[in-house]
Amino acid sequence: MKNKVKKTSVALCLIFCMILTLSACSNLKTTSKKHASEKVADADDKAEDKNDNKYVATAIDDNNNHDTDQVKSQDSNNQENAQINSQDNKKDNKNDNKNLDENNLNNNINSEKKSSDSAEDKEGKSKDESQLGDGDKSEKKHNNTSSHVLPPVSDVKRMVVCIDPGHSGVVASGTEPIGPGSSEEKLKDTSGTSGCVTKIPEYKLTLALSKKLKNLLEEDGNYMVIMTRTDHKDPLSCKERASIANKADADIFVRIHADGIDSQDVNGVSAHYPTKNNPYVSKYSEKSRVLSEFLLESMCHETKATSRGLFGRDDLSGSNWAKMPVSLIEVGFMSNPQEDKLLADEKYRNKIAQGLFKGIEKYRKKYDK
């Protein structure tokens, strides 16, 4: 019995030991599995960390590459902008140079134009001098104004005087109405008279006197002067002469002529104006008479010539077409030997011009109020 109990105890002990052993093995296995799992987890963590680091590095590289690309892009943009600016600067410089060249060209053109104008003026002056008749050359330094061009207008109101040197070297042929709306015809012009001693033609004498008068008026400063002609080359009718005065809106029209008849005994000066019964310009009759009176008196006073008086005439087409006060002055008889010689003398011509100037000045002061 005791042996049976002992054997049972030993068996139980063995069983207990086996249970403990199995339990220990189980714990060990579990611990091993846990360690293994931890190792695997660590390995996975390390792998993940590695991958994360890789991703981080990749991201950093991507960012760096992006930044680099941006820098490169910015550099490229800067280079493009620099090139564009350079091109724009070149274009601007080119435009500036072009503008400068154009300005220089314009300046050169203006300079050449001024030189050309100066050359033309000199050429015109030379031509005028070459056309001057006897006694005309003394006036060459004063004759720089074109015949139909108004001088510069100043702030002071100046009287416009149109001077008509009678006749011309080329006679206008044909006839024309004696006045506006008239059926009566008259020769457009004639050759005029000439000196019985000097042989000077009337058209040369009248132009020389007209130029002297023109110079005196312009030097005074209160007048602008228009000449119906400045040479002897072109034909000019009486109506055309009046038309020049009308277009210039002249205040007075002074027509300079010389007389000539078959007798050598007649001498003296006279002035002619339209009457109050003139069918064309009667409204200018009174002022025309006053102008003629002042011209005649002043000229006779300066020259001591004989006055033949004032004559009212309505048959002068050059006066009938005028739209302002007008006077035709006969400065003497070229058919009279003594008077013909005087009319060729420069000093006497100067006196005639001075007398005409003073007559115009007296008229201006009377009506310029």
Render each residue's pLDDT in the chain as its tens digit; 369 residues: 545 555 666 666 677 667 766 655 555 554 454 444 444 444 444 444 444 444 334 433 444 444 444 434 444 444 544 454 445 444 444 444 444 444 444 444 344 444 444 444 444 444 444 334 443 443 343 343 344 444 544 446 899 999 999 999 999 999 999 999 999 999 999 999 999 999 999 999 999 999 999 999 999 999 999 999 999 999 999 999 999 999 999 999 999 999 999 999 999 999 999 999 999 999 999 999 999 999 999 999 999 999 999 999 999 999 999 999 999 999 999 999 999 999 999 999 999 999 999 999 999 999 985
Q: Where are the domains of the chain?
A: 23-102, 139-367
Concatenated DSSP letters for 20-53?
Answer: HHHHHHHHHHHHHHHHHHHHHHHHHHHHHHHHHH
The pair of three-digit structure tokens given for residue 218, joined into one six-digit string: 């312009």
> Whole-angstrom Cα distance, residue 326 to residue 274?
8
Give the model's pLDDT for residue 319: 98
Q: Is the dihedral of CA 177, 281, 315, 330 positive or negative?
A: negative
**What global pTM score does this model have?**
0.60
What average pLDDT is seen over the chain?
A: 76
Quick: pLDDT tens for 38-87.
Answer: 444 444 444 444 444 443 344 334 444 444 444 344 444 445 444 544 45
Q: Is the dihedral of CA 282, 319, 213, 295 positive or negative?
A: negative
Give the model's pLDDT for residue 3: 54
> Whole-angstrom Cα distance, residue 302 to residue 92?
73
The pair of three-digit structure tokens given for residue 125, joined into one six-digit string: 């002056």
Give the model's pLDDT for residue 22: 64
> Whole-angstrom Cα distance, residue 245 to residue 159?
13
- Closest to 360 measured CA to CA, from 208, 251, 243: 251
Residue 249's region, left for phi above 0, alpha for psi from -120 to 50, else beta, is left
Quick: pLDDT tens for 126-135.
Answer: 444 433 444 3
Question: Which H or E element spans position 272?
Answer: strand 269-273
What are the contacts of 262-266 at 24+ separation with CB within 8 A? 262/335, 263/335, 264/196, 264/335, 264/336, 264/337, 265/336, 266/333, 266/335, 266/336
151-167 residues labelled b (16+ CB within 10 A) or e (exposed)? eeeeeeebbbbbbbbbb
Beta partners for 164? 255
Topology of domain 139-367, CATH: Aminopeptidase (3.40.630)
C-beta atoms surrounding 230 within 10 Å: 20
